[in-house]
Amino acid sequence: MTDEDNLDADADLGFAPAVVDNAGRTAPTRTASRRPSGFRRRAASLAVLIGALTAVGGGYAMLAPTSGADDTAATSQDVEAGRQLYNTSCITCHGANLEGVTGRGPTLVGTGSADVYFQVSTGRMPAPVQGALELRKVPKYTEQQILQLGAFVQSQGGGPQVPPADADLRAGSDQLGDGGELFRLNCASCHGATAHGAPLSAGKIAPDLYRSTDRQLYTAMLVGPENMPVFSNNQITPEQKKAIIAYVQTMKEAKDPGGAGLGRIGPVAEGLVIWTAGLGVLMVSILWIGARL
Amino acid sequence: MTTTSDDLSKAPTVKGPKRFDKPRTPIGKAGRWSEDRLGAAGGMRKQLNKVFPDHWSFMMGEIALYSFIILILSGTFLTFFFDASMAEVRYDGSYVPLDGVEMSRAYASTLNISFDVRGGLVKRQIHHWAALLFMAAMLIHMFRVFFTGAFRKPRELNWLIGLGLITLGLVEGFAGYSLPDDLLSGTGLRIAAAIMQSIPVIGSWAEFLVFGGKFPGTVIIGRLYIVHVLLVPGILAGLIGAHMALLIKQKHTEFPGPGKTEQTVSGERMYPTYGMKAGGFFFIVFAVCAALGGLAQINPVWLFGPYNPAQVSSGSQPDWYIGFLDGSTRLFPSWEIRLFDHTIPPLFWPTLVLPGILFSLAGAYPFLEAKFTHDKSAHNLLQRPRDVPVRTGLGAMAITFYGVLLVSGGNDLIAKAFDISLNAMTWAGRICLLVLPPLAYAITYKICLGLQRHDREVLEHGIETGIIKLLPNGEFIEVHQPLGPVDDHGHGQLAYAGSKVPKKMNELGNPHGHKIRGFFYPVREKTDIQAELDALAAAEARGEHRQKELTD
């Protein structure tokens, strides 16, 4: 693959957050170069550049005071450690510059630390083989390594960021009703009203959410991994995301007041129980009654 | 001595009539009181003497009857607290995750029953489990009637009534499933509305008629409530009454056996034995429903949330008895068939035409079989399934067809559980629906013939004793126990009589096919021991000091 191909691939992204968060790269000018008017193009480029610089500078200023701790914000050591992890485990499929390798893996430019966190902390990445979808596995890296890897990808391509470790991602119990409504409206059509998951077409699945942590739920909504749509902060605000997380986690932790939950998968399990346990006991009973003259 | 005994024996006969006039025991007094007012003793005597067959397979219909009684009892309790209104309220009950959510009064009152009414949740669950059991029991009862030929003349009408009970049971169950107005049941109603719309020509009007306008409207829950608690249960109770009345009028069928004829009926009398058995069995059925209601969660509507037409959950399934229609909808190709310049919606075929054909075939079967076999005579003796391989094969075929549809109704969950592609599940269902039923017919037919041959072989050669004998000439022979007299060649003379043929040594000696109990040695029944003791005591009382040895 030539260098030009890579640049084209970047340009085709048209991914606004990456541009904003990554002002130093060539992407803005290349995207702008398609536009017709020279003056407007230069003015727009300037505006984007100023905006991007302000965003990065402001963002850094906001994050800098809290970055002294362990894993919340990216230090240069974190980025360096992340680069080493990347070069060990990710580079084969995602390329030396996160540009992706045709037939192996997609570009990671603009995916951000949130996507890295979701994919690696759920064990989906690094993937042993190519497939229609990756399933949840035991993660290969520690939480700190995952954040370092995320910091590296963030530093290279920008994108949605993983929320810091000390952030409370669960809304209060007064938000449960709203969270439930949002969950049923946006999530239940694939994951099911009880979050037990469901198959999609052709072997793909919407996984169950019973092993997901708050941060995994949050980052999944933010980046929309695999077949899941992106629920950006414009569609579902961070507060609403936290309400959804509160609802999902409360529902998961809640005991079943009616007895055994039967997997919370509804009438199919119930039908199975009545035909095996219910009718089974009764058939044994009638055999017993019939045998006792 | 003789005179005194004569005097003593005369005394009661003189006082006899007076004693009958004035009963002394409380039961006797109560009987006299009611007889003076109702005059029902004659009819009661007849009913209490009604004879029930003792074969286990006759008790499957009773499961359905008893679960219907449990449904009435538990359902009546639920009506005290359920509010069949679609008026919007803001929930402020004790289930926190739905706090402040807009919902219908129906859903709010279901949550109230589940969380705030004492014993409400367990009653709801008993009611729902009993409903699933009611349908399952009716189905297996139907299987029994079908496979033994109990539907034949003169019982075709009862077969049709039974089919009507199953159909109404489907309606009743679906109405009850819809009442809580949760996300799952609302999705079911949405599909029901779509099915109504798919009817050619009248579809839209049918939906408007049922829902009082467009789906979901504001009246459907109230209408379904009356359908569920009054209309259909009333018809069900009436049909069950007719079903039982016909049964009593026509008497039970029974399996062929020694002493069983088309003109006689045998078994246990209603009072006391069968009444005790049936009463006890009612409590077993109730215990199973109560145990399931207490131990296994069913229809947790609080997890599903209130119905909102904008929302739908994946894995939304109907209760199992509607599952075959869900399956047929999943399997049917999305063909838009045009008839008379009108597009028939694809949903019409699997949800209305297919069940229409299935139920029509089931209803017509007794008449079709009579027509094709030229059998116009009445039958009170049953047939063993193996003796009518064609019917048994057809039954297996129908059950397999239904089973594939039923399993396909949950094919998404199977796909998820076993990591199979959902598309592969759909295609597997389509192929199985066409391939498996004929295969089931062929295999069942063969098995029936094999069982028939084995019966005749045992009648001819006797039971395998498991004893191998070495003859003086070195030949090994297996010793068989003949079932009756043998001819010169040692072959049995008994003809197959349509009843169970004993196949093991411990099945010998009892004409009703009950095995002698005991694993290594026969267990001596208490009744037998008591009979021997009684005989001994009687012998001693007669002064005949004949020693009778009690063998163990």
Global ipTM: 0.86
Identify whether B53 is preceded by a cis peptide bond (ω within 30 of 0): no
Q: What is the CATH number of the domain that holds A196?
A: 1.10.760.10
pLDDT at B197 over 50: yes
Domains of chain B in sequence order = 2-39 (no CATH), 51-253+269-305+314-383 (1.20.810.10)
Chain B residues touching residue A184 (CB < 8 angstroms): 183, 305, 308, 311, 313
Closest residue in B to A263 (Cα) is B297
Chain B residues touching residue A252 (CB < 8 angstroms): none
Contact B317 A267 (CB under 8 A): yes
Distance CA B323, CA B315 (A): 12
Q: How confident is the model over A109-150, as pLDDT tens digits?
A: 988 899 999 999 999 988 888 777 888 999 999 999 999 999
Contact A193 B295 (CB under 8 A): no
Contact A282 B312 (CB under 8 A): no
Sequence letter at residue B493: Q
Looking at CA atoms only, how far is residue A200 from chain B in angstroms?
7
Are A110 and A13 in contact by the 8 Å Cβ rule? The answer is yes
Contact B284 A282 (CB under 8 A): yes
What pLDDT is stored for residue B397 in this prediction? 97
Picking from A188, A251, A291, the nearest residue to B311 by CB comes out as A188
Give the H or E element holding residue B45: helix B41-48
Distance CA B9, CA B16 (A): 11
Evaluate whether residue A285 is within a structural domain.
no
Picking from A184, A201, A266, the nearest residue to B422 by CB comes out as A201
Sequence letter at residue A79: V
Contact A177 B100 (CB under 8 A): yes
Q: Kindly state whether residues A55 and A143 are assigned to the same domain.
A: yes
Q: How confident is the model over B381-418, as pLDDT tens digits?
A: 999 999 999 999 999 999 999 999 999 999 999 999 99
Chain A residues touching residue B424 (CB < 8 angstroms): 203
What pLDDT is stored for residue B552 in this prediction? 44
Distance CA B425, CA B414 (A): 8
The candidate with the shortest Cα–Cα distance to B67, out of B119, B157, B139, is B139
Chain B residues touching residue A264 (CB < 8 angstroms): 300, 303
Strand A205-206 to A198-199 pairing: antiparallel
Q: Could you tell me the pLDDT band of residue B511, with boundaries at 50, 70 and 90?
A: low
Contact A184 B183 (CB under 8 A): yes
Contact A193 B97 (CB under 8 A): no
How does the average pLDDT of chain A come out, rounded? Answer: 82
Q: Could you tell me the pLDDT band of residue A77, with boundaries at 50, 70 and 90?
A: confident
What pLDDT is stored for residue B510 in this prediction? 64
Picking from A177, A250, A262, the nearest residue to B297 by CB comes out as A262
Contact A274 B314 (CB under 8 A): no
Domain boundary among A93, A128, A157: A157
Contact A274 B311 (CB under 8 A): no
Size of interface A-B (CB pairs under 8 A): 204
Distance CA B208, CA B193 (A): 9
Q: Kindly state whether residues A64 and A106 are assigned to the same domain.
A: yes
Evaluate whether residue A218 is within a structural domain.
yes
Which of A274, A275, A276, A281 has the highest number of chain B CBs within 10 A, making it the mutation to test binding with B? A274
Contact B304 A194 (CB under 8 A): yes
The candidate with the shortest Cα–Cα distance to A162, out of A72, A45, A39, is A72
Q: How confident is the model over A225-262, as pLDDT tens digits?
A: 988 999 999 999 999 999 999 999 999 999 999 999 99
What pLDDT is stored for residue B533 in this prediction? 86
SS3 state at A105: strand
Q: Which of A31-45, B364-378, B495-509 has the highest mean pLDDT?
A: B364-378
Contact A279 B136 (CB under 8 A): yes
Are A119 and A125 in contact by the 8 Å Cβ rule? The answer is yes
Are B173 and B135 in contact by the 8 Å Cβ rule? The answer is yes
Q: Could you tell me the pLDDT band of residue B516, with boundaries at 50, 70 and 90?
A: low
Three-state secondary structure string covering B421-434: CHHHHHHHHHHHHH
Distance CA A206, CA A228 (A): 8
**Helices marked H in chain A — which ranges?**
3-13, 16-21, 27-32, 38-63, 76-89, 91-94, 112-121, 143-157, 176-186, 188-191, 214-223, 238-253, 267-273, 279-291
What pLDDT is stored for residue B440 in this prediction? 98
Chain A residues touching residue B308 (CB < 8 angstroms): 181, 184-185
Residues in chain B: 552
Q: Kindly state whether residues A52 and A27 are assigned to the same domain.
A: yes
Chain B residues touching residue A256 (CB < 8 angstroms): 297, 300
Contact A192 B314 (CB under 8 A): yes
What pLDDT is stored for residue A36 in this prediction? 53
Q: Kindly state whether residues A67 and A178 are assigned to the same domain.
A: no
Are B62 and B274 in contact by the 8 Å Cβ rule? The answer is no
Q: Kindly state whether residues A137 and A188 are assigned to the same domain.
A: no
> Does A11 contact B at CB distance below 8 Å?
no
Q: Kindly state whether residues A11 and A73 are assigned to the same domain.
A: yes
pLDDT at A199 over 70: yes
Torsion sign across C-alpha atoms B121, B122, B125, B130: negative
Q: What is the CATH number of the domain that holds A15?
A: 1.10.760
Q: Kindly state whether residues A40 and A140 are assigned to the same domain.
A: yes
Which position has the token pair 């919007």?
A: B88
**Helices marked H in B419-525 — which ranges?**
422-461
Domain count within chain A: 2
pLDDT at B75 over 60: yes
What pLDDT is stored for residue A59 in this prediction? 65
Residues in chain A: 293
End-to-end CA distance of chain B: 40
Q: Kindly state whether residues A78 and A184 are assigned to the same domain.
A: no
Domain boundary among A157, A186, A219: A157
Contact A266 B315 (CB under 8 A): yes
Picking from A189, A268, A279, the nearest residue to B317 by CB comes out as A268
* Residue numbers of the domain that contains A197: 173-253
Contact A260 B295 (CB under 8 A): yes
Closest residue in A to B413 (Cα) is A198
Q: Could you tell me the pLDDT band of residue B20, with boundaries at 50, 70 and 90?
A: low
Sequence letter at residue A109: V
What pLDDT is stored for residue A64 in this prediction? 53
Evaluate whether residue A16 is within a structural domain.
yes
> Phi, psi (5° rounding) for residue B467?
-100, 125
Q: Kindly state whether residues A142 and A206 are assigned to the same domain.
A: no
Which of B60, B127, B298, B423 has the highest number of chain A CBs within 10 A, making it the mutation to test binding with A? B298
Evaluate whether residue A192 is within a structural domain.
yes
Are B505 and B465 in contact by the 8 Å Cβ rule? The answer is yes
Q: Kindly state whether residues A54 and A143 are assigned to the same domain.
A: yes
> Does A293 contact B at CB distance below 8 Å?
yes
Contact B121 A257 (CB under 8 A): yes
Looking at CA atoms only, how far is residue B302 from chain A in angstroms?
10
Contact A177 B99 (CB under 8 A): yes
Chain A residues touching residue B415 (CB < 8 angstroms): 199
Evaluate whether residue A235 is within a structural domain.
yes
Contact B303 A203 (CB under 8 A): no
Contact B421 A173 (CB under 8 A): no
> Does A197 contact B at CB distance below 8 Å?
yes
Q: Kindly state whether residues A11 and A124 are assigned to the same domain.
A: yes
Distance CA B100, CA A242 (A): 18
Contact B420 A203 (CB under 8 A): yes
What pLDDT is stored for residue B542 in this prediction? 77
Evaluate whether residue A63 is within a structural domain.
yes
Put simply, the chain A residues between 159 and 178 with a CB less than 8 A from any chain B CB are 173-174, 176-178
Domain boundary among A94, A129, A157: A157
Are B513 and B254 in contact by the 8 Å Cβ rule? The answer is no
Distance CA B366, CA B512 (A): 29
Closest residue in B to A278 (Cα) is B288
Contact A256 B297 (CB under 8 A): yes
How does the average pLDDT of chain B come out, rounded? Answer: 89
Looking at CA atoms only, how far is residue B339 from chain A in angstroms?
31
Picking from B60, B305, B319, the nearest residue to A267 by CB comes out as B319
Q: Kindly state whether residues A135 and A187 are assigned to the same domain.
A: no
Q: Calculate what percentage of chain B has a pLDDT beyond 90.
A: 67
Q: How confident is the model over B85-142, as pLDDT tens digits?
A: 999 999 999 999 999 999 999 999 999 999 999 999 999 999 999 999 999 999 999 9
List B381's β-bridge partners, or say none. Answer: B254
